[in-house]
Amino acid sequence: MLKSMYTAVAFAVALAFAAIAFNPSPAVAQDIAGAQADIEALLVQYAGDIDGLEAAIEEYVTNSEDPEVAAQAVIAVAAGLPADSDLKIALGRGLGAAIAVIALTNPTAATNMQALVAASGDETLVGAVSSGTTDKTASIERNAGGGDDTLVGEDDQTPEEPASAT
C-alpha cells in the first residue's frame, strides 16, 4: 500500500517537474555536463565489472554535492545506452540504491530523483532504479535490525503448557 502510494506521488511529482528537470538553467546545465563526464568515466572504468559500476554510481550520487544533478547525469548517460544493456541496468540499480540512502536524510531530494527517473520514460531504467531502491532499502532494514526474517514468536522459549499443569 505504502509502495503504491509512494509510486503515485513520485509519478505526480515527475509530471510536475518534468519541464524543469529537462530545461535547467545554464549554471545547472554546466554542473550536469561535468557530472555526466564523471559518470561516463565511471562507465569506461567499470565496463567489465557490472557490480563495481553499480557500487561506484551509488557512491558517486550519494556523496555528490547535489545528488539531483548527479541523478540527471546518470539518467542522461543511461539514455545513450541500448535498452538491454547490462551497463544501463547497473547505472539504474546504483542510482536506485543511492536514492534509498538519500531518502534517509533528505526525502525531498529522493522523491525529486525518483520523479526525474519516471520522467525519463525509460522503462529499463525505471525498473532498474526500482530494483536498486528495493534491494538497498531491504539491506538498510536488515542492518538496522528490522529484517532478521524471524517470525514473531518463533524464538519464544515459553513452554506450551503452564508449569502448574504438570
**Mean pLDDT of the region 138-152:** 69
> How far apart are the C-alpha atoms of 73 and 69, rounded to whole Å?
6
Question: Model confidence over 108-136: pLDDT tens digits?
Answer: 999 999 999 999 999 999 999 999 999 99
Q: Pick the closest to residue 71 from 117, 27, 19, 26 (CA basis).
A: 117
Say if residues 46 and 56 touch (Cβ distance below 8 Å): yes
Nearest to 41 by CA among 57, 28, 62: 57
Cα torsion 68, 121, 74, 99: sign: positive
| Cα 54 from chain centre | 11
Residue 144: which pLDDT band, with cuts at 50, 70 and 90? confident
pTM: predicted TM-score of the whole model, two decimal places: 0.72
Summarize the confidence of residues 154-163 as an average pLDDT. 60
**Which triple of cell numbers denotes residue 100?**
534509498
SS3 content of the chain, % helix, strand, coil (to 5): 75, 0, 25
Q: Quick one: pLDDT at residue 165?
A: 58
* pLDDT above 90 (res 164): no
> What value does the mean pLDDT take over residues 78-95?
95
Q: Give me the pLDDT at residue 116, please.
A: 96
**pLDDT tens-place string over residues 71-84:** 999 999 999 999 88
Does the structure show a pLDDT above 60 at 3?
no
Which range (14-18, 34-38, 88-92) has the least confidence? 14-18
> φ and ψ at 154, to 5 degrees?
-65, -40
| 29-75 pLDDT tens trace | 678 888 999 999 999 999 999 999 999 999 999 999 999 999 999 99
Mean pLDDT of 16-36: 63
Give the gyration radius of the chain's Cα atoms. Answer: 20
Among 5, 8, 3, which Cα is nearest to 115's? 8
Q: Is the pLDDT of residue 106 over 80?
A: yes
